[in-house]
């Protein structure tokens, strides 16, 4: 289509105000033309870590090497960490299922998760397209935290969504033949088994419930998704709806977080 075109001549997508247009602008700003959503998620996680670190400093809990593993619980509570289901149900704080995936407990936590995101995310975003990939990330992360909440955990981090990406990738390899796909599937499954084993041993406070919920949701979506970008008007429309739905849920969740930011802490 022409460089000055305002609409796609095939599907009618608005090239000035749509997920496509937003992805183009993000890719120009972030310098990543293949995976703008992955890059945006990376930036969002880093920004939220910066905010939580500032709040931790205000409470006097960020001295020395504390930054590596010790972000203030007060800061993460106000910024939307996930809580046991009884609390969420009683106070209708469903938005925590989404905001929690952008919070981390320390520099080591966010460092490991963001390295995983940049290793896995670009390949799936290129495969599915930015809109469906964005929905996959947000949906699996939220379901992971729902599983965590139902089992009574207090949790945060991007790992539920990341396990959702791994689940989707395993689903992709299960639908394809060849030695490379078998080898990739074997390595992914081995990594997941090791991660769950470490969690069962109680090391590093790993939340197996969030990981399992995200992984299962990602595997199911990976089985449902067609393993390519949308190719016709109907597929593009469906993908756009999923992308905008994920975006609306994300924005609404952060709006509710800001509205409840000054709520009394538990026990006050």
Q: Is there a catalytic annotation at residue 211?
A: yes
Which residue out of 104, 109, 153, 211 is catalytically annotated?
211
> Collapsing DSSP states into helix, strand and coil, what is residue 178?
coil
Residues 6+ apart with CB under 8 A from 182: 173
Give the H/E segment covering residue 31. Answer: none
Q: Residue 266 in 3-state DSSP?
A: coil
Number of other residues whose CB lies within 10 A of the CB of residue 248: 10
Beta-bridged to residue 155, according to DSSP, are: 82
Q: Which residues lie closer than 8 Å to 25 by C-beta, 6 or more apart? A: none
Per-residue DSSP letter, 265: P
Which residue is catalytic, options 39, 52, 130, 159? 159
Q: How far is CA 74 from CA 59, 170, 247, in A?
A: 9, 37, 27
Q: In the chain, how many H helices and how many E strands? A: 12, 0
Give the angle subtended at the CA of 160 by the CAs of 238 and 255, to the nearest 5°: 65
- Report, as residue numbers or ranges, the catalytic residues: 159, 211
């Amino acid at each position: 289509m022409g460089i000055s075109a305002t609409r796609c001549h095939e599907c009618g997508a608005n090239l000035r105000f749509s997920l496509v247009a937003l992805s183009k602008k993000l890719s120009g700003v972030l310098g990543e033309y293949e995976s703008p959503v992955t890059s945006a998620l990376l930036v969002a996680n880093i920004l939220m870590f910066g905010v939580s670190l500032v709040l931790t400093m205000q409470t006097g809990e960020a001295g020395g090497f504390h930054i590596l593993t010790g972000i203030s619980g007060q800061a993460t509570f106000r910024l939307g960490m996930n809580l046991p289901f009884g609390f969420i149900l009683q106070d209708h704080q469903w938005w925590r299922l989404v905001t929690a995936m952008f919070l981390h407990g320390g520099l080591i936590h966010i460092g490991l998760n963001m390295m995983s995101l940049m290793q896995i995310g670009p390949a799936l975003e290129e495969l599915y397209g930015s809109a469906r990939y964005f929905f996959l990330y947000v949906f699996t992360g939220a379901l992971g935290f729902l599983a965590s909440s139902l089992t009574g955990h207090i949790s945060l981090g991007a790992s539920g969504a990341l396990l959702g990406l791994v689940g989707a990738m395993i689903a992709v390899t299960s639908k394809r033949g060849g030695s490379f796909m078998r080898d990739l599937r074997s390595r992914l499954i081995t990594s997941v088994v090791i991660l769950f084993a470490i969690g069962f041993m109680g090391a590093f406070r790993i939340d197996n419930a969030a990981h399992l919920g995200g992984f299962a949701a990602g595997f199911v979506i990976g089985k449902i998704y067609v393993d390519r970008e949308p190719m016709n008007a109907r597929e593009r429309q469906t993908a756009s709806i999923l992308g905008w739905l994920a975006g609306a849920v994300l924005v609404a969740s952060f709006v509710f977080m800001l509205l409840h930011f000054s709520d009394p802490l538990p026990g006050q």
